[in-house]
Chain A
């Protein structure tokens, strides 16, 4: 009887421990409770429960710790200071799969806050244990381990190098091939985090054969997975021409263009980022993308999105047009200028406006034909406005000015330049007048139009310093017209005539 009584005492204690740990884990799901838990000293209480005899208490304690560490970096630091990590790493190797999941969750929650915490996670020898977890059968254990590795590798190149040195990359690529969607997602995001830091790391990822598997998953119905896949591919392609060529050789185009019209915003954005990174490198790659119909896809994408999501598409159009004038012509033919001018009018944020201005400048700078197409879309006044506004960032002003200058230096279509004559500031005016001085000596009809539209009058009103290029241009223009006409339009001519009338009257 007394034996049963003593056993009952132990059973009660076990029940109490289990109940405590479960309720702490439940409370830790809500952020408002975590402060109170921390003040009540939950860390010190949870730590011995990690070493409990009963496995379910251990697992729930680990889960609770993970949720607490997930919430803030103070708690994560206290986990590290409390020397809990070595115990977790040791039991990662030994225990059953539920404990492994919980332990991997804690490691991930600690490592996600800062590089120093991630470094302390590595110092406990967690990497080898996590890589061993990647070879388990249970997909949820693999998912937790992959997630932890991804968070460690996210911070900087050194930590990613540690993950690679621990032999994680081939196992991550194996995880990509598993049937579970969640595992694929996390593996793709981990590979993307590893590859983003440097070309060598991206090359390591490519050498493990990741590109082929990532390319297979492009048309998967799951939106989250597509986001990660495109992000991974764009991180790989951004570093060098060879890597971009390898991504292209995986034959993702033209199927990837369909994803530019996906229902999920971020899938579209990441797909556009991928195309931008590829187009950036050489004219041959840009030509390949254009030939596959990429420009139309991106123009559609720019038309259908707003705000920050548009930015990669705009930059892609700019990069394409920057390479050669035939590519710029391709962008024009695919109705890129209309979309860009709409974007210029609609957007409000500085960096997007700067990117749009830059892209338009790249399109218009090649030949007079290009400049005319850009100017006809009524872009120049808007660019001028952006340049004049002082409340915008300097970057935007410089980009607008450069774009304006580039377009103006090639623009010989006079009807578009007329409005600029009246509004522009002196340094822009110089270019406008220069263009006029190039065209007017040769074209009589243009001269007539110039006079009738009031351009000649405006020219006379400009005050230019002697010997400056502006004065030279003005002289060139004035020399195209007969003297009387020039005099007629010069300011103060009416007064001069009246004076002559007076003098004449005096004489008589």
Chain B
């Protein structure tokens, strides 16, 4: 009881102290709380950083291994191409060396061969001489031709002249102007005059008569008549007509012996050309059947029994019954089959015989 009374007397102080203690405790608690947080966070941070570091290291290791693997692959590829290039270069170099040696040899032997060039030029000069001679010959030939042509032209002119002035030729009685008795021999013109052949003038114009066309056709082959004969002759027109009278055969003579056959052939050919195609027209429905002799000889003779069975009402049970045995899918045991009770297909391994 005393204690209780003391408590009650000091209750305010106690309460105050309690309060004070409680506040201090609270502050301390707060303080401790804060510091514990700090410690925890530091520790946690440390842990996490250590973990991250570890992870980083692992990742780096993985990356390193992976990159080195890829790099080695790439390197092998590059090495391959590099080696290929080296090989190609080697062969190219060898080929170039061969070409170099060959070209040097060829040029030294053939292209730069001084003596062969000299020979070539000498040969060229010889050829040039040949060509020059040919050209001169050709020119001479052409000039000769021209001279010949000129001479021919002159000669023909002279002959023309002579033909026109033939009356100047000398006769036995009177010498012509080109043939003087004081000369040893007659002049050139005289000789030409003597040797000219009289040129027949072009045929006279044909007489215009009514029978002209008929005559004209045939008179191509026969020589022309002289226009006016002297003496008691019939007028030349009539003589001509009689001479060139055309043949006038009768119709019976004129027609060919085989006229009718030929005409038939002609008409056939004409009709053939007019036809579009040569096949005779048949309609599709009409089919060529062989001539039916007699009806009861057509079909083969059938037993009436079979005819009955052919009726549709009754089922034909026989059709499902076959006289063949079943085919087995599984091969039989050869020992059992040696008795040869059923027929079997011969098997490669298990054959009956």
Interface residues of A (CB under 8 A from B): 221, 254, 257-263, 290-297, 300, 326, 329-330, 333-334
User: Would you call B139 and A293 a contact (CB within 8 A)?
Assistant: no
> CA–CA, A305 to B143, complex, Å?
17
- Chain B residues 127-144 with CB under 8 Å of chain A are 127-132, 134-139, 142-143
User: Would you call B124 and A333 a contact (CB within 8 A)?
Assistant: yes
**Which residues on the B side are within 8 Å of A333 (C-beta)?**
121, 124-125, 128
User: Would you call A263 and B121 a contact (CB within 8 A)?
Assistant: no
User: Would you call B135 and A297 a contact (CB within 8 A)?
Assistant: yes
Given A296-B132, A300-B132, does the pair A261, B138 have CB atoms closer than 8 Å?
yes
Confirm or deny: B103 has a beta carbon within 8 angstroms of a beta carbon on chain A.
no
Confirm or deny: B146 has a beta carbon within 8 angstroms of a beta carbon on chain A.
yes
**Which residues on the B side are within 8 Å of A259 (C-beta)?**
138
User: Would you call A257 and B117 a contact (CB within 8 A)?
Assistant: no
> CA–CA, A258 to B146, complex, Å?
17
Confirm or deny: B145 has a beta carbon within 8 angstroms of a beta carbon on chain A.
yes
Contact of A258 among B127, B128, B129, B134 (CB under 8 A): B134
Interface residues of B (CB under 8 A from A): 117, 121, 124-125, 127-132, 134-139, 142-143, 145-146
User: Would you call B121 and A300 a contact (CB within 8 A)?
Assistant: no
> CA–CA, A235 to B63, complex, Å?
78
**Which residues on the A side are within 8 Å of B136 (C-beta)?**
261
Contact of B135 among A257, A290, A291, A292 (CB under 8 A): A257
Given A258-B138, A261-B135, does the pair A334, B143 have CB atoms closer than 8 Å?
no
Other than A262-B139, A297-B131, give 4 A-B pairs with Cβ distance below 8 A. Answer: A261-B136, A262-B138, A326-B117, A330-B124
> CA–CA, A29 to B267, complex, Å?
59
Contact of A221 among B132, B134, B135, B145 (CB under 8 A): B145
B110 to chain A, nearest CB (A): 12
User: Would you call A261 and B139 a contact (CB within 8 A)?
Assistant: yes
> CA–CA, A470 to B144, complex, Å?
62
> CA–CA, A293 to B130, complex, Å?
8
User: Would you call B135 and A300 a contact (CB within 8 A)?
Assistant: yes
A35 to chain B, nearest CB (A): 38
User: Would you call B127 and A291 a contact (CB within 8 A)?
Assistant: yes
**Which residues on the A side are within 8 Å of B138 (C-beta)?**
258-259, 261-262
Which residue from chain A places its CB closest to the CB of B130 in the assembled complex? Answer: A293
User: Would you call A290 and B124 a contact (CB within 8 A)?
Assistant: yes
Number of A-B residue pairs having CB atoms within 8 Å of each other in the complex: 57
User: Would you call B125 and A257 a contact (CB within 8 A)?
Assistant: no
A255 to chain B, nearest CB (A): 9
Which residue from chain B places its CB closest to the CB of A290 in the assembled complex? Answer: B124
User: Would you call A293 and B143 a contact (CB within 8 A)?
Assistant: no
Contact of A263 among B129, B131, B135, B146 (CB under 8 A): B146
25 contacts between A and B (CB under 8 A): A221-B145, A254-B134, A257-B131, A257-B135, A258-B134, A259-B138, A260-B135, A262-B142, A263-B142, A263-B146, A290-B124, A291-B127, A292-B127, A293-B124, A293-B128, A295-B128, A296-B127, A296-B132, A297-B131, A300-B132, A329-B117, A329-B121, A330-B121, A333-B125, A333-B128
User: Would you call A293 and B131 a contact (CB within 8 A)?
Assistant: yes
Which residue from chain A places its CB closest to the CB of B145 in the assembled complex? Answer: A221
> CA–CA, A347 to B142, complex, Å?
28
Given A263-B143, A293-B130, A326-B117, does the pair A258, B124 have CB atoms closer than 8 Å?
no
User: Would you call B145 and A296 a contact (CB within 8 A)?
Assistant: no
Question: Most chain-B Cβ atoms within 10 A of its Cβ — which of A261, A291, A300, A326?
Answer: A261
Which residue from chain A places its CB closest to the CB of B137 in the assembled complex? Answer: A258
A122 to chain B, nearest CB (A): 40
A52 to chain B, nearest CB (A): 26
**Which residues on the B side are within 8 Å of A221 (C-beta)?**
145
Going nearest first, the 9 A-B pairs with the smallest beta carbon separation are A296-B128, A293-B131, A258-B138, A261-B135, A293-B127, A261-B139, A333-B121, A296-B131, A263-B142
User: Would you call A254 and B121 a contact (CB within 8 A)?
Assistant: no
Contact of A254 among B124, B125, B131, B139 (CB under 8 A): B131
B156 to chain A, nearest CB (A): 19
> CA–CA, A293 to B139, complex, Å?
17
Contact of B139 among A263, A292, A295, A330 (CB under 8 A): A263
Which residue from chain B places its CB closest to the CB of A299 in the assembled complex? Answer: B128
A303 to chain B, nearest CB (A): 11
A115 to chain B, nearest CB (A): 39
**Which residues on the A side are within 8 Å of B127 (C-beta)?**
291-293, 296
Which residue from chain A places its CB closest to the CB of B146 in the assembled complex? Answer: A263
B98 to chain A, nearest CB (A): 26
B115 to chain A, nearest CB (A): 14
**Which residues on the A side are within 8 Å of B121 (C-beta)?**
329-330, 333
A247 to chain B, nearest CB (A): 19
Which residue from chain B places its CB closest to the CB of A257 in the assembled complex? Answer: B131
> CA–CA, A296 to B134, complex, Å?
11
> CA–CA, A292 to B130, complex, Å?
10
> CA–CA, A260 to B134, complex, Å?
11
Question: Most chain-A Cβ atoms within 10 A of its Cβ — which of B125, B129, B131, B132?
Answer: B131
Which residue from chain A places its CB closest to the CB of B129 in the assembled complex? Answer: A296
User: Would you call A334 and B125 a contact (CB within 8 A)?
Assistant: yes
B205 to chain A, nearest CB (A): 19
> CA–CA, A291 to B146, complex, Å?
32
User: Would you call A334 and B134 a contact (CB within 8 A)?
Assistant: no
Which residue from chain A places its CB closest to the CB of B139 in the assembled complex? Answer: A261
Given A221-B145, A263-B142, A326-B117, does the pair A257, B134 have CB atoms closer than 8 Å?
yes
**Which residues on the A side are within 8 Å of B134 (C-beta)?**
254, 257-258
B217 to chain A, nearest CB (A): 22
**Which residues on the A side are within 8 Å of B135 (C-beta)?**
257-258, 260-261, 297, 300
B119 to chain A, nearest CB (A): 12
> CA–CA, A263 to B139, complex, Å?
7
B135 to chain A, nearest CB (A): 4
**Which residues on the B side are within 8 Å of A290 (C-beta)?**
124
A129 to chain B, nearest CB (A): 32
User: Would you call A334 and B124 a contact (CB within 8 A)?
Assistant: yes
A305 to chain B, nearest CB (A): 13
> CA–CA, A507 to B252, complex, Å?
156
**Which residues on the B side are within 8 Å of A326 (C-beta)?**
117
Which residue from chain B places its CB closest to the CB of A326 in the assembled complex? Answer: B117
> CA–CA, A259 to B121, complex, Å?
25
**Which residues on the A side are within 8 Å of B130 (C-beta)?**
293
B96 to chain A, nearest CB (A): 25
> CA–CA, A330 to B122, complex, Å?
10
> CA–CA, A258 to B134, complex, Å?
7
A267 to chain B, nearest CB (A): 10
**Which residues on the A side are within 8 Å of B129 (C-beta)?**
296
Which residue from chain A places its CB closest to the CB of B117 in the assembled complex? Answer: A326
> CA–CA, A330 to B121, complex, Å?
7
A251 to chain B, nearest CB (A): 16
Which residue from chain A places its CB closest to the CB of B135 in the assembled complex? Answer: A261
> CA–CA, A293 to B136, complex, Å?
14
> CA–CA, A405 to B136, complex, Å?
38
**Which residues on the B side are within 8 Å of A300 (C-beta)?**
132, 135
> CA–CA, A203 to B32, complex, Å?
112
**Which residues on the A side are within 8 Å of B125 (C-beta)?**
333-334
Which residue from chain B places its CB closest to the CB of A294 in the assembled complex? Answer: B131
**Which residues on the A side are within 8 Å of B131 (C-beta)?**
254, 257, 292-294, 296-297
**Which residues on the B side are within 8 Å of A294 (C-beta)?**
131
> CA–CA, A471 to B31, complex, Å?
104
User: Would you call A334 and B128 a contact (CB within 8 A)?
Assistant: yes
A321 to chain B, nearest CB (A): 14
